[in-house]
Amino acid sequence: MNALILLCSCVAPHQGAPVSDRVGPPSDKITQHIVTSGETLFSIAWRYGRDYKKLAGYNGIPKPYIIYPGQKIKLTVPATKYHRAKSTVSNNQKSQPITQISTQRSKTTTKISKPVAPITKTLRSSAEIKWLWPVKGKISATFSSKSALNKGVDIAGKLGEPVVSAAAGVVVYAGSGLRGYGNLLIIKHNEKYLSAYAHNKKLLVKESSIVKAGQKIAEVGSSGTNTNKLHFEIRRDGKPVDPLRYLPKR
């Protein structure tokens, strides 16, 4: 009995699991994703750290990249198959405008919205992008290429403070379906660059919306985390890059 009492006294009291803003990326062993309501090809590519253009090529999905709930998306295929799939996309599809699929809660109803106006003039080349700070707060966490959990920068902010688009582009995802990001916006700036704005209190733009640089797109919040802040990411060809290399010096 004395030994049992001694053993129990040595056991540390239970503590809650630490809070993490973002979970690690899904295993590279995952080769297929089944689309659920509210997802876009861009959000799936973001989740798995893939280039949306390659995902489209893998799966023979032409512009404007419409996908449907229940659809199986291959995440990796041999290079030879990728080039063959990519070649099936005709040249005239390159001029089509981006459109957005929106799905109802019903399991049997799928609604596709009308295409938005052509955005060729809205999207700029990578050399022409002049990045802006999305919020004015202090940086509380920096990018680390060695960490699977820190793919961008965390910027402190006050609840409800404006979040602005870091550059002109088109909203390709608006929702809360990516675990660990809370209310999230993903904006496409051109064929190479995307940016993301996470943990927002409120989203002020919808998918397919064309936004200008500096336009208010959301409000700072704590969705998906435990402090008021903005988690901001820039991805080049699907890969995370350090936003501080692109944002202007303060």
What is the separation of C-alpha 100 from the centre of its chain, rounded to a whole number of angstroms? 16
**pLDDT bracket for residue 149 (50, 70, 90):** low
**pLDDT bracket for residue 123 (50, 70, 90):** low
pLDDT above 80: residue 200: yes
Rounded Cα distance, 99 and 102, in Å: 10
Amino acid residing at 25: P
Chain position carrying tokens 């198959």: 81
Distances (CA, A) of 73 to 8, 36, 44: 51, 11, 9
Q: Which residues have CB under 8 Å from 2's CB, separation 6+?
A: none
Q: Where are the beta strands (DSSP E) in 98-177?
A: 101-103, 110-112, 139-141, 153-156, 162-164, 169-175
Rounded Cα distance, 184 and 217, in Å: 11
Paired sense of beta strands 216-220 and 210-211, if any: unpaired
Spell out the alpha helix ranges (H) of 1-113. 2-10, 41-48, 52-59, 79-86
Asked if residue 233 lies in contact with residue 243, where contact means CB atoms within 8 angstroms, the answer is yes
Count of helices and strands (H, E) across the chain:
4, 14
| The pLDDT value given to residue 8 | 38
Amino acid residing at 87: S
Asked if residue 224 lies in contact with residue 198, where contact means CB atoms within 8 angstroms, the answer is yes
pLDDT above 80: residue 3: no
- 107-114 long-range CB contacts below 8 Å, 24 or more apart? 110/68, 110/69, 112/66, 113/208
Asked if residue 186 lies in contact with residue 43, where contact means CB atoms within 8 angstroms, the answer is yes
pLDDT, tens digit, 9 for 90 and up, residues 40-97: 999 999 999 999 999 999 999 999 999 999 999 999 865 554 444 444 444 434 433 3
For residue 64, give the nearest of 5, 120, 135 by alpha carbon.
Answer: 120
Residue 199 tokens read as 């943990």
| pTM, two decimal places | 0.72
Lowest mean pLDDT segment, chosen from 29-38, 111-120, 237-246: 111-120
pLDDT, tens digit, 9 for 90 and up, residues 23-52: 444 555 788 999 999 999 999 999 999 999
Asked if residue 52 lies in contact with residue 238, where contact means CB atoms within 8 angstroms, the answer is yes
For residue 246, give the nearest of 206, 186, 193 by alpha carbon.
Answer: 193
pLDDT above 70: residue 230: yes
